[in-house]
């Protein structure tokens, strides 16, 4: 079962990454890649189900991207 609390805790990171794309695509991509890489290594090293955190980051990024796209920014 997905740990919803952990997922929602990481949604703001994805939203921040999407808004960083408005500033610079390079900065946004770097921020998202670093966070996903960090969480991926945590999951691999500590076996603490950090993939839930990655899902939160991705959900936040996709949600904010659709909002930005819909607003025409």
Backbone angles phi, psi at 72, to 5 degrees: 75, 25
Backbone angles phi, psi at 37, to 5 degrees: -60, -45
pTM of the model: 0.80
Q: Could you state, in chain order, the average pLDDT of each consecutive group of 10 residues for the chain (73 residues)?
A: 78 92 91 89 76 87 92 81
Nearest to 59 by CA among 35, 24, 30, 26: 35
Taking each continuous run of H as one helix and of E as one strand, the counts in the chain are 3, 0
pLDDT at residue number 48? 72
Burial environment of residue 60 by CB neighbours within 10 A (0 to 12, 13 to 18, 19 or more)? buried
């Amino acid at each position: 079962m997905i740990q919803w609390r952990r997922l929602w805790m990481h949604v703001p990171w994805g939203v921040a990454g999407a808004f960083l794309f408005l500033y610079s695509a390079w900065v946004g991509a770097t921020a998202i890649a670093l966070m996903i890489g960090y969480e991926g290594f945590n999951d691999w090293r500590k076996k603490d189900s950090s993939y839930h955190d990655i899902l939160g980051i991705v959900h936040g990024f996709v949600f904010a991207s659709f909002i930005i796209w819909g607003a025409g920014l």
